A and B are shown apart, each in its own frame.
Chain A
């Protein structure tokens, strides 16, 4: 994560890179506007005046999931991409956010909009608490310790009980009253994604963000330059946790049912990292692009897209397993073929050429 040539903040893209970037931005903006407005055509008012249906419930359910992963991948980007700490347990913050909102609504009978702000607060508080010891660790030690956080928190939440009664709903999980309609949660989740991008945009331009990048490039040098590395790292971790927790809080009420399996899945860790890497870790929109591409692929492979075609030789019930296998192979492929990351994919030299692949393989292999 710390080789100097991987920082895309100082290099200017060449002419063809700029052209690609512009084309991509236009396409991206068009897709975004369509995705934002299409769900409105499904409302009763729109149907009454005869607007053609551009998106049914299934489509914006998938769009909501994509927005959710966009939040998680973008939030991971702050600690993983910018600060260079390989956080492998961010799913803990998603789960804590979900359970905070879930508990407040299901047990304390709070209304959703009062309970939602508690989710990012609880996740950020937890991240600060474990961040102080964990962020002293480097490399493998931090990576595995954070991975352990994700697994351990889920396990504790599922199993902790008080005088024989599970505190957090146990293995049954928590059931929330049904409130609002899918379209509300779609806009909430998109709102969370926009907020995450806005926060990242601010971080990238702030003194705080430059401090984080300095830590990624060389932590000792950053400390010598006067960056309070512990405070910066813990703040970045807490910020990522707060945004991830927000997505978890929205998910809890949207899904109305949460348990250990749906809010602490260990694959989410790898998915968010892969999304950030595919799109470009350390960049503003990279994780969003990665989230859209990877989530569409996963949804297609697992057979939940309405356009899903049959895949030869694969029975329908084996599709989710196949999706996981492909996800694993994709991780392997991304790592082996673009080991320096796909960072400024649409800027700088073309990273799709065979020559580039050969060069990068030669540099990293024995």
Chain B
């Protein structure tokens, strides 16, 4: 029983990371209809910034999160404004390929800059945790979960309460109608992608705290973000939060099966993907299309 509780807690804690990775991916997919294959690479850019600031300047990793968000927002805005906007009406294969190409460039530039060595961020409090009888909850993981939920909350507020957020939602619902009422599509598209990338940056900062990073460490996160979004249902931040936490739980339980393990991260995500797409393509919380 204690073992089950331990797995549930661990799953929710890991789920926090998937929430952070998933919300940005889901926003871009829902509004722009782009499956951003460079999402995982953008996440790792955030991780490297956190690592660099920590190892060179001793900046606390949690304090570098706003900087991750700011840097990635800039990269994302520029990417969409300069590149993706140009093919946004092209057939799906092309936006898909384009983001794959961007992914390849980012990963290899990171390889060039940082080599493929494992890097980790280990602040003095890395090993400390909350002691609950048989359970030890690392503070960094608890804080990651809290920050991921906070991130989702902030994103939800931006989308639901600000004029810009409403404009983003309007573009997602019907871009021609949105253009008719005077919304600058290019700017809103770029802003949306920028916001998505900023979320990726924060996720990257959190990931730097919980695992060793390499330039290719982000690759599984792209597939996992996709699964998280379809698990919850496309189009709402709250659904992605549920999807992310649920995915964390499923992964932890799947990996606890004897003979399984963390080496099957992609296979588990893929198996779940096929299962959800075949049985409930609109996601658990999604409405019937």
Contact = CB atoms under 8 A, between A and B. Distances in A.
B254 to A, nearest CB: 13
B83 interface: yes
B186 A366 contact: yes
A159 B262 CA distance: 10
Nearest to A363: B89
B97 A273 contact: yes
A2 interface: yes
B118 interface: no
B101 A3 contact: no
Contacts of A28: none
A116 to B, nearest CB: 28
Nearest to B98: A335
Given A336-B83, A339-B87, A328 B102 contact: yes
B273 A1 contact: no
Contacts of B91: 1-3
A33 B219 CA distance: 42
A336 B81 CA distance: 13
B277 interface: yes
A366 B277 CA distance: 31
Interface in B77-96: 83, 85-96
B280 to A, nearest CB: 13
Contacts of B186: 366
A63 B109 CA distance: 29
A339 B90 contact: yes
A183 interface: no
Contact of B100 (A137, A270, A366): A270
A288 B97 CA distance: 20
B134 interface: no
B210 interface: no
Interface in A345-366: 361, 363-366
For chain B, the bracket of interface size reads: 35 or more
A37 interface: no
Contacts of B87: 335-336, 339, 364-365
A208 to B, nearest CB: 22
B94 A152 contact: no
A316 interface: no
B112 A325 contact: yes
A281 to B, nearest CB: 9
A304 interface: no
Interface in A1-58: 1-3
Nearest to A266: B219
A156 B85 contact: no
Contacts, number: 155
A331 B99 CA distance: 9
B33 to A, nearest CB: 8
A293 interface: no
Contacts of A365: 85-89
B88 A364 contact: yes
Nearest to B116: A321
B89 to A, nearest CB: 5
A332 B220 CA distance: 22
Nearest to A130: B274
A336 B226 contact: no
Nearest to A336: B86
B271 A152 contact: yes
A277 to B, nearest CB: 8
A136 B85 CA distance: 29
A289 interface: no
Contacts of A133: 274, 277-278
B97 A331 contact: yes
A328 B104 contact: yes
10 cross-chain pairs, A with B, having the tightest CB-CB distances, nearest first: A331-B101, A328-B104, A328-B105, A152-B270, A148-B270, A339-B90, A364-B90, A324-B108, A152-B267, A365-B86
Given A145-B273, A336-B98, 16 more contacts: A1-B93, A86-B93, A136-B278, A141-B230, A143-B96, A144-B223, A148-B226, A148-B274, A152-B271, A270-B101, A273-B93, A324-B111, A336-B83, A364-B87, A365-B85, A366-B89
Interface of A: 1-3, 80, 86, 88, 130, 133-134, 136-137, 139-141, 143-145, 147-149, 151-152, 155-156, 158-159, 161, 266-267, 270, 273-274, 277, 318, 321-322, 324-325, 327-332, 334-336, 339-340, 361, 363-366
28 contacts: A86-B92, A86-B93, A133-B278, A137-B281, A139-B92, A140-B29, A143-B35, A145-B277, A147-B37, A155-B266, A266-B219, A267-B104, A273-B97, A328-B108, A331-B97, A331-B98, A331-B100, A335-B101, A336-B86, A336-B87, A339-B87, A339-B90, A361-B86, A364-B87, A364-B89, A365-B86, A365-B87, A366-B89
